[in-house]
């Protein structure tokens, strides 16, 4: 279900963000958690968009959907 997929992605993004903080030796505080979570989410979205095939629907940063050409 969509709920399950979103939960799984949340786990992945949180793990990526935690790894980013550890690699960068950042303190585990709210500010760094928010920043690295945003960075992880942006990286994941870009990777998925870049790997999408022509004709697949992808979501832009502004939230709008379009078919990849």
pTM, full prediction: 0.78
What is the model's pLDDT at position 25?
A: 97
User: How wide is the angle at C-alpha 32 spanned by C-alphas 8 and 50, nearest 5°?
Assistant: 50
What is the model's pLDDT at position 66?
A: 93
> In this structure, what token pair is assigned to residue 18?
């935690």
Strands 57-59 and 65-67: antiparallel
Query: For 1-58, what is each residue's pLDDT tens digit?
Result: 889 999 999 999 999 999 999 999 999 999 999 999 999 999 999 999 999 999 999 9
pLDDT higher than threshold 90 for residue 60: no
Confidence of residue 61 (pLDDT cuts 50, 70, 90): confident
Torsion angle defined by CA atoms of residues 69, 42, 62 and 4, in that order, rounded to the nearest 10 degrees: 90
Distance in angstroms (rounded) separating the CA atoms of residues 13 and 22? 14
């Amino acid at each position: 279900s969509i709920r399950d997929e979103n939960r799984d992605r949340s786990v992945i993004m949180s793990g990526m963000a935690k790894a980013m903080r550890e690699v960068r030796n950042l303190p585990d505080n709210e500010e760094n958690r928010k920043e690295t979570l945003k960075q992880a989410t942006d990286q994941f979205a870009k990777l998925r968009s870049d790997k999408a095939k022509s004709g697949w629907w992808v979501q832009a940063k502004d939230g709008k959907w379009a078919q990849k050409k």
